[in-house]
Amino acid sequence: MQTRPGICQRKRRYATRDEAEAAAARAPFKLRAYTCSLCGRFHLTSRTKGMKTPRHELAP
């Protein structure tokens, strides 16, 4: 998946896939972990329509 720099910076980062998937499992919606080509860590995506990033994917 291609990640835009702005998205990478705004999203939560997870050091490992296990950590990302654990976070995804706690969420009340379907999330998928993917490796970010920019930071080399993991982010979550819910594959919603359009390009806006859901609040739950953003870092606090």
Nearer to Zn ion, 9 or 48 (CB): 9
> Measuring CA to CA, how many Å separate 9 from each of 1, 25, 47, 51, 57?
16, 22, 18, 15, 11
Contact with Zn ion (CB under 5 A) among 39, 46, 53, 57: 39
SS3 43: strand
Instruction: Check binding of 8 to Zn ion (CB under 5 A).
Output: yes
For 59, the token pair is: 């870092």
Of 17-25, 26-34, 35-43, 52-60, which part binds Zn ion (CB under 5 A)? 35-43
Nearer to Zn ion, 28 or 51 (CB): 51
